[in-house]
């Protein structure tokens, strides 16, 4: 560059390559090329090739879409079985970010469960398969359809369809058309964990709305029932504090494992799972006028008889048919049939081919030329004695339609990506019998298709998506003209012709089998959060503390303290559970409330390929055989001598001298009022004046507060996942969870009272008026807002963690690492209104401040105060029992103010003078006069 000037003048212009005479790059050319290379690198980062659509900037606004304003779509998803929850999906700029219950549908009334709340993370799960695969290699839908047509032709249409139970008319219609096209096709179905227990062709649909005395026979109504949301709501309503003692519902639970239903019961009788039939028989005998020997059971029978048609007896899905028949007999004796106990044919379409055993047998006979597995994971969740994988291997053409390449996907020739429920058109039955429409809220991320679409395409039909739904339902009587309105509402009212036929008459129940003689039985149950394994990959649900056990990331061999001692086992030991040659190792969890002589294993974990859940927990399916689906007597426990550690988010459940979760009997409250809730000393009310050194701040409107009714809370965890979804709360994984670093802003504390009954207490941030966290923060990163919120300023936080140390409620959570999921797709599901926290900063419940700000944003020409109920927190919306009330404490008419003034209202750790904004309403027990409250031992 130091050329003499005269040479520059005579020199030819720089070559297009930008090199000077010496072949060196000039500075300018170098910079130009650098910039070009940088731009090219940016291009290379984009998906290969031009996108197929023309891309338009938002200069031309898509209809309805306003950046920053969410849109809501009604849809429906069957989360744990065939019966769907009507839902509303919130989308931001075309991305679903949140799911809530359909507020206008009687099945949900806006509430939802943990599974529905977790759907968004499921949609964006990085473990989802991204395309059609053949034998592990990438392929395409057209290749599959070509190969399938050839296989169907070659096999003369002898194809087996294996599908989980469905209530979708669209799918049933597609199957019908498919079988019409290929008459040799057979439809097989299975469900590892049934949803609707059926006896004599009728399923019980219990209704607590008018019940006064309810006896559950090993039936977890509040978790393992398609009507769980309605049951929680009705239970809360029937136990409301204002009800007279003679009118309030009394719940009696017989159960073989501590469940949330048992925790809500006024009397809980522990029974081994195989002892329940005999108890059911005793109940029927008693209701028929006979004598009942056991005092606890006798009191239950007397209470039921007194309730008459307001009585109800239900039985759990894992109990044999005879128990269901006995329960039906009991309800008939009570006169409750058609009132509290409604019987209807099962909602799911029956698969005419039978179950997996029939399929395996048909494959063995060489009758099957092709198998299409339409969802589910039959290789993983099959009975251990049924070699589904081996049978599939003998079929020349197998395909598996699923969200991820799981155990079944690996066993099939073809893997087909299933459209996620939030990406798909469909329909289903809600638990109240209405038909609900599922509409996609996003284009399938990975080109997935639904089972109905695959079958329709294989039938040679070109219809897809919404056409299939309209065709199936239109044929069933929906006026085609009103489709847009139907889809917008999400519900099809059942036309007259669709009312289910009355169920068959109840046959006389047979004799109940005697309890097994074995000293130890193995009982299976679905995992409370991974369910039958369908959520065994889901980090939110795996890290969701199981109700009562508080375990995350795994399952355990649950033993009663006595049984553990008898087998020489201690909490945390690794034990080998064996049935003959079948053997799994699990960590021992010693849990009071588990019947003696029983080891309980939860299904759905120990996945061999499950993304985040692979290798987590013990695979109970490995011990489950066709003849022992729910209980096995030939089980042995052998200590391995090794130690494991169940990962618990709460290790101590004793209530202590001052119970944090308060309870009193209705009688005591009637006699002593507030004092009944305070066994330790004089009672206190939340807003009693307290001495303080700080300036008294008057409550100006708005002063946000929350009241949580422990009498309504069933401990279902819906609020926890709702909070996680709303506030972008990260999961931390099993190693970090074991170190006590879970991030949930809202936790459900669980205590075991001296009488053996469990109490739940959701604990969000208390938003203390005299917040101990605020005074110790050295940088002022946590501040008191004018509306009473205790705000976190994330970007001012340096992470001394002093605030957490000084928080008596320990509701603050710290980002010890960067817990963000590195997969970019997960970020699509985050709430754009909530800051994503980085490592090294503290975070906590904000009372959903983004909702408060959105709800109280002053619009031009509008300065009216925020109406009560206009701002709802995510946990409040999700709660099926309406246990959470939120609002302005300065408004004397607000629901939260009235709730706070209730005689049951109290503040947690009141004596510290923190003046929490979150308060609790004590729980009411309603024990029978004939018995002391609590667990009863078998006599």
Partner 1 sequence: MSAARDDLPRDDDARWVRGGHDMGSVTDLVAGAVAPARTRKSWLLMLLVTFAGVGVLFVSVLWLFSEYVGIWGIEIPVAWGIAIASFVWWIGIGHAGTLISAVLLLAKQPWRRSINRFAEAMTLFAVACAGLYPILHLGRPEHFYWLVPYPSTYGAWPQFGSPLVWDLFAISTYLTVSLLFWYLGLIPDLATMRDRATGLKAKVYGVFALGWRGDARHWARHQRGYLMLGGLATPLVVSVHTVVSFDFAVAQLPGWHMTMFPPYFVAGAIYSGFAMVLTLVIPARRWLRLTDVITDDHLDAAAKLMLASGLIVAYGYASEIFFGWYSGDPSELSLVHSHLAGHSAPLFWTVVTLNVGSAMFLWSRRVRRSVVPLFVLTLLINVGMWLERYLIVIGSLEHGFLPSTKGEYTATFWDWSTFLGTLAFFGFLMLLFVRFVPAVAMAELREMVPPRRALRPPPPPAGPEVTP
- Rule CB under 8 A: which residues touch partner 1? 650-658, 660, 680, 736, 739-741, 747, 749-751, 761, 763, 772, 775-780, 796-802, 804-806, 808-810, 812-818, 839-842, 908-909, 911-912
Q: How near is the Cβ of 733 to partner 1 at its closest, in Å? A: 12
Q: How near is the Cβ of 810 to partner 1 at its closest, in Å? A: 4
816: CB partners within 8 A, 6+ apart: 736, 741, 839
CA distance 42 to 293: 79
Three-class DSSP labels, 799-851: CCCHHHHCCCCCCCEECCCCCCCCCHHHHCCCCCCCCCCCCCCEECCCCCHHH
State the sign of the Cα–Cα–Cα–Cα dihedral 27, 29, 30, 36. positive
Q: How near is the Cβ of 807 to partner 1 at its closest, in Å? A: 9
In 11-167, alpha helices (H): 27-44, 114-117, 119-123, 141-154
Contact between 469 and 165 under an 8 Å Cβ cutoff? The reply is no
Q: How near is the Cβ of 816 to partner 1 at its closest, in Å? A: 3
CA distance 913 to 825: 45
CA distance 246 to 282: 25
CA distance 937 to 930: 15
CA distance 908 to 661: 8
Which DSSP category does 458 fall into? H
Q: How near is the Cβ of 594 to partner 1 at its closest, in Å? A: 21
If the CB atoms of residues 460 and 740 are measured against partner 1, the closer one turns out to be: 740
223: CB partners within 8 A, 6+ apart: 259, 260, 261, 528, 547, 716
629: CB partners within 8 A, 6+ apart: 318, 383, 524
Contact between 473 and 169 under an 8 Å Cβ cutoff? The reply is yes
Contact between 391 and 370 under an 8 Å Cβ cutoff? The reply is no
Q: Which residues pair with 526 in a beta bridge?
A: 603
If the CB atoms of residues 87 and 647 are measured against partner 1, the closer one turns out to be: 647
If the CB atoms of residues 385 and 735 are measured against partner 1, the closer one turns out to be: 735
Q: How near is the Cβ of 886 to partner 1 at its closest, in Å? A: 22
Q: How near is the Cβ of 854 to partner 1 at its closest, in Å? A: 26
Q: How near is the Cβ of 216 to partner 1 at its closest, in Å? A: 27
Q: How near is the Cβ of 795 to partner 1 at its closest, in Å? A: 9
Q: How near is the Cβ of 826 to partner 1 at its closest, in Å? A: 20
**Cβ-count burial 643-660 (b if 16+ within 10 Å, e if not):** ebebbbbeeebebeeebb
If the CB atoms of residues 177 and 844 are measured against partner 1, the closer one turns out to be: 844
State the sign of the Cα–Cα–Cα–Cα dihedral 607, 608, 611, 617. positive
If the CB atoms of residues 633 and 650 are measured against partner 1, the closer one turns out to be: 650
If the CB atoms of residues 287 and 811 are measured against partner 1, the closer one turns out to be: 811
Of 484, 906, 835, 552, whose CA–CA distance to 721 is shortest? 552
If the CB atoms of residues 454 and 766 are measured against partner 1, the closer one turns out to be: 766
If the CB atoms of residues 303 and 736 are measured against partner 1, the closer one turns out to be: 736
If the CB atoms of residues 179 and 750 are measured against partner 1, the closer one turns out to be: 750
Q: How near is the Cβ of 790 to partner 1 at its closest, in Å? A: 14
SS3 651: coil
Residues in the chain: 939
CA distance 292 to 844: 53
If the CB atoms of residues 334 and 777 are measured against partner 1, the closer one turns out to be: 777
If the CB atoms of residues 667 and 801 are measured against partner 1, the closer one turns out to be: 801
If the CB atoms of residues 799 and 832 are measured against partner 1, the closer one turns out to be: 799
CA distance 347 to 352: 15
Q: Which residues pair with 552 in a beta bridge?
A: 647
Q: How near is the Cβ of 394 to partner 1 at its closest, in Å? A: 50
If the CB atoms of residues 658 and 825 are measured against partner 1, the closer one turns out to be: 658
Q: How near is the Cβ of 839 to partner 1 at its closest, in Å? A: 5
Q: How near is the Cβ of 475 to partner 1 at its closest, in Å? A: 55
Distances (CA, A) of 42 to 35, 47, 211: 11, 11, 65
CA distance 263 to 550: 14
If the CB atoms of residues 494 and 772 are measured against partner 1, the closer one turns out to be: 772
Tokens linked to 172: 């049933």
If the CB atoms of residues 207 and 835 are measured against partner 1, the closer one turns out to be: 835
Distances (CA, A) of 683 to 670, 678, 801: 15, 6, 33
Contact between 128 and 404 under an 8 Å Cβ cutoff? The reply is yes
CA distance 938 to 198: 28
Q: How near is the Cβ of 904 to partner 1 at its closest, in Å? A: 20
């Amino acid at each position: 560059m130091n050329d003499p000037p005269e040479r520059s003048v005579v020199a030819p212009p720089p070559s297009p390559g930008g090199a000077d005479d010496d072949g060196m790059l000039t500075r300018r050319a170098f910079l130009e090329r650098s910039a070009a290379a940088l731009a090219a690198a940016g291009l290379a980062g984009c998906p290969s090739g031009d996108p197929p659509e023309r891309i338009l900037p938002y200069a031309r606004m898509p209809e309805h879409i306003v950046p920053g304003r969410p849109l809501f779509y009604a849809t429906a998803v069957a989360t744990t079985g065939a019966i769907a929850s009507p839902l509303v999906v919130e989308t931001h700029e075309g991305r679903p970010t949140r799911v809530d219950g359909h507020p206008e549908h009687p099945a949900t009334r806006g509430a939802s469960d943990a599974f529905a709340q977790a759907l968004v993370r499921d949609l964006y799960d990085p473990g989802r398969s991204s395309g059609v695969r053949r034998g592990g290699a990438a392929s395409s839908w057209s290749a599959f359809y070509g190969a399938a047509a050839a296989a169907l032709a070659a096999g003369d249409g002898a194809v087996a369809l294996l599908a989980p139970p469905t209530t979708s008319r669209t799918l049933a219609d597609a199957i019908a058309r498919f079988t019409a096209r290929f008459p040799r096709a057979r439809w097989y179905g299975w469900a590892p964990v049934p949803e609707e227990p059926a006896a004599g062709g009728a399923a019980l649909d219990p209704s607590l709305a008018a019940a006064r005395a309810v006896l559950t026979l090993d039936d977890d109504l509040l978790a393992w029932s398609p009507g769980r949301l309605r049951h929680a709501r009705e239970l809360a309503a029937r136990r409301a504090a204002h009800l007279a003692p003679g009118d309030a519902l009394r719940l009696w639970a017989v159960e073989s494992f501590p469940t949330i239903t048992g925790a809500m019961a006024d009397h809980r009788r522990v029974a081994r799972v195989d002892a329940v039939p005999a108890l059911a028989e005793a109940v029927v005998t008693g209701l028929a006028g006979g004598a009942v020997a056991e005092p606890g059971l006798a009191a239950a029978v007397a209470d039921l008889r007194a309730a008459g048609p307001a009585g109800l007896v239900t039985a759990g899905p894992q109990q044999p048919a005879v128990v269901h028949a006995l329960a039906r007999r009991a309800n008939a004796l009570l006169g409750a049939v058609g009132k509290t106990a409604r019987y209807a044919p099962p909602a799911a379409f029956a698969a005419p081919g039978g179950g997996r055993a029939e399929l395996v047998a048909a494959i063995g006979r060489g009758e099957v030329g092709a198998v299409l597995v339409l969802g589910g994971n039959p290789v993983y969740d099959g009975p251990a004695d049924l070699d589904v994988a081996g049978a599939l291997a003998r079929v020349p053409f197998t395909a598996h339609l699923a969200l991820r390449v799981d155990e079944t996907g690996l066993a099939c020739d073809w893997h087909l990506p299933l459209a996620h429920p939030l990406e798909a058109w469909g329909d289903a039955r809600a638990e109240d019998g209405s038909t609900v429409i599922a509409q996609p809220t996003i284009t399938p991320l990975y080109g997935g298709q639904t089972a109905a679409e695959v079958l329709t395409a294989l039938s040679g039909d070109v219809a897809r998506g919404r056409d299939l739904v309209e065709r199936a339902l239109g044929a069933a009587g929906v006026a085609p003209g009103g489709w847009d309105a139907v889809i917008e509402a999400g519900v099809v009212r059942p036309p007259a012709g669709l009312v289910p036929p009355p169920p068959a008459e109840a046959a006389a129940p047979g004799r109940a089998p005697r309890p097994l003689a074995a000293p130890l039985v193995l009982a299976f149950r679905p995992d409370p959060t991974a369910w039958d394994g369908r959520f065994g990959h889901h980090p939110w649900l795996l890290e969701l503390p199981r109700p009562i056990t508080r375990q995350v990331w795994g399952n355990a061999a649950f033993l009663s303290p006595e049984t553990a001692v008898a087998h020489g086992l201690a909490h945390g030991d690794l034990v080998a559970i064996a049935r003959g040659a079948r053997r799994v190792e699990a960590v021992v969890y010693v849990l009071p409330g588990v019947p003696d002589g029983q080891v309980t294993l939860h299904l759905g974990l120990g996945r061999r390929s499950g993304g985040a859940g692979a290798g987590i927990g013990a695979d109970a399916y490995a011990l489950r055989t066709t003849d022992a689906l729910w209980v096995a007597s030939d089980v042995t426990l052998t200590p391995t001598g090794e130690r494991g550690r169940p990962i618990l988010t709460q290790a101590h459940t004793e209530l202590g001298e001052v119970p944090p979760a308060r309870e009193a009997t209705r009688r005591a409250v009637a006699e002593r009022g507030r004092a009944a809730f305070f066994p330790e000393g004089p009672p206190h009310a939340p807003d009693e004046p307290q001495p303080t050194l700080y300036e008294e701040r008057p409550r100006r409107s708005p002063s946000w507060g929350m009241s949580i009714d422990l009498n309504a809370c069933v401990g279902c965890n819906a609020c926890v996942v709702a909070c996680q979804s709303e506030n972008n709360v990260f999961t931390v994984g099993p190693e970090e969870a074991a170190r006590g670093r879970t991030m949930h802003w809202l936790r459900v504390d669980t205590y075991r009272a001296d009488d053996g009954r469990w109490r739940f207490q959701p604990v969000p941030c208390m938003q203390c008026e005299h917040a101990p966290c605020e005074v110790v923060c050295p940088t002022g990163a946590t501040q008191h807002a004018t509306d009473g919120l205790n705000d976190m300023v994330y970007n001012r936080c340096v992470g001394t963690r002093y605030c957490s140390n000084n928080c008596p409620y320990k509701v603050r959570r710290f980002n010890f690492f960067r817990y963000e999921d590195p997969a970019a797709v997960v970020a699509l599901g985050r709430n754009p209104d909530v800051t994503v926290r980085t490592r090294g900063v503290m975070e906590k419940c904000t009372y959903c401040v983004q909702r408060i700000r959105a709800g109280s944003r002053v619009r031009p020409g509008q300065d009216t105060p925020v109406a009560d109920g206009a701002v709802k927190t995510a946990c409040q919306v999700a709660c099926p029992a309406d246990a959470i009330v939120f609002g302005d404490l300065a408004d004397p008419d607000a629901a939260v103010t009235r709730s706070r003034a209730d005689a049951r209202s109290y503040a947690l750790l009141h004596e510290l003078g923190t003046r929490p904004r979150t308060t609790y309403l004590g729980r009411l027990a309603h024990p029978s006069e004939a018995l002391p409250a609590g667990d009863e031992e078998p006599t």
